[in-house]
Amino acid sequence: MADVDQGSVLPSETSPLILDGLNSTDSNGTDAVNATVAKFVATPEGTALAYGSLVFMALLPIFFGALRSVNCGKSKVAGENGCDYEYRNSSDMPETITGRDAARFPIIASCTLFGLYLFFKIFSQEYINLLLSMYFFVLGILALSHTMSPFMNRIFPANIPIKQYQLLFTQGSGETKEEIVNYEFDTKDMICLVISTVVGVWYILKKHWIANNLFGLAFALNGVELLHLNNVSTGCILLGGLFVYDVFWVFGTNVMVTVAKSFEAPIKLVFPQDLFQKGLGANQFAMLGLGDIVIPGIFIALLLRFDVSLKKNTRTYFYTSFLAYIFGLGMTIWVMHTFKHAQPALLYLVPACIGFPVVVALLKGELTEMFRYEEVSPEDAAAKEEATEAEKKDK
């Protein structure tokens, strides 16, 4: 694995979870440095701005995604539990991760990563990235639209009529008719989709780093908001498994680095190190993968919901884990620059994000309560409610 020096970018990641050094890249993600060209050397000011901006951007989806997971995690109606928008479609509803899901995730992620590695080795990188660009173009539009929805609800003029729309695809007829797609939206959603489409076209045509970051932040915020761990034990299983996954694929093979250099998609946040020299047209980037944001982020969001469940009007575990994340990410950057070697971010983030809250819980005598805290999926909650209602009727 290549060492990281001042001429390299801040590590990127392809699957959700690598922090690794790559060659400097241009705005299209292609290699911009070879053996005959001197590597770009960032100024201390440019490096500090890039790293600081990445840390700041990483904190935004964790903080706001966690808040949205509390306000709207159990609400299906706009205005209920402080929710600013309505979950009309099943794709917008939170998805609960169980212990079994958490145990399988590192295996699935490893198979996906190695599959991408083989694809890039066998097939043309250009055509694969074209397909991936179109795929993330659609996902990015939907994610950015969902992210903008609460803000649009607040600023949308009250005197403009709101019309309801429904996109419905069915298969068969009569009693055998089956819904394939059933997507409901309104005028405000249409405006969000139009704005998101403009950003998507900008990204497809220019691959500009600002468009990349808008999509990346939307993906990360949606992940933290909509992926719910059912309990702290599941979170420890998930983070522990991906800790091993991250260390193995970064230090044990060159698979992660190969895919990272070949993969063109908004699955990372980027910030130019040469912004002072080239302005918005800068092309020497520091990068941070979304997995190092989303995976710790959903654990931090769980601890915020645990804080709420205690009904003590405090956010002790949320703030502790949030500060732990800052500490872990700072340690990653410091170690990388001290030893001039690529580092897997979860090597530092996982012990910090799990260890700090556990220590606080021990000191407060709430460790057992923390590990007993349990969440259920909206489907399970609805089924339990229906069963309770049925029992009442029987009586």
Could you give the residue numbers annotated as active site? 246, 292
Nearest to 4 by CA among 25, 16, 15, 20: 20
What's the rounded Cα separation, in Å, for the pair 309 and 340? 44
Nearest to 328 by CA among 15, 6, 19: 19
- Residue pair 341/3 in contact (Cβ under 8 Å)? The answer is yes
Can you name the residues that pair with 218 across neighbouring β-strands?
Answer: none
What's the rounded Cα separation, in Å, for the pair 359 and 323? 14
Q: Please report which residue ranges of the chain form alpha helices under DSSP H.
A: 44-72, 99-122, 125-155, 187-206, 209-226, 232-247, 255-262, 275-278, 291-310, 316-339, 346-364, 367-372, 378-394
What's the rounded Cα separation, in Å, for the pair 395 and 387? 13
Which H or E run contains 80?
A: none
What's the rounded Cα separation, in Å, for the pair 5 and 277? 20
Which H or E run contains 252?
A: none
In the structure encoding, which two tokens stand for residue 302, read together? 């769980």
DSSP per-residue letters across 302-338: HHHHHHHHHTSS--HHHHHHHHHHHHHHHHHHHHHHH
Which H or E run contains 78?
A: none
For the chain, first and last CA: distance in Å?
69
Neighbours of 119 (CB within 10 A): 16
- Residue pair 270/24 in contact (Cβ under 8 Å)? The answer is no
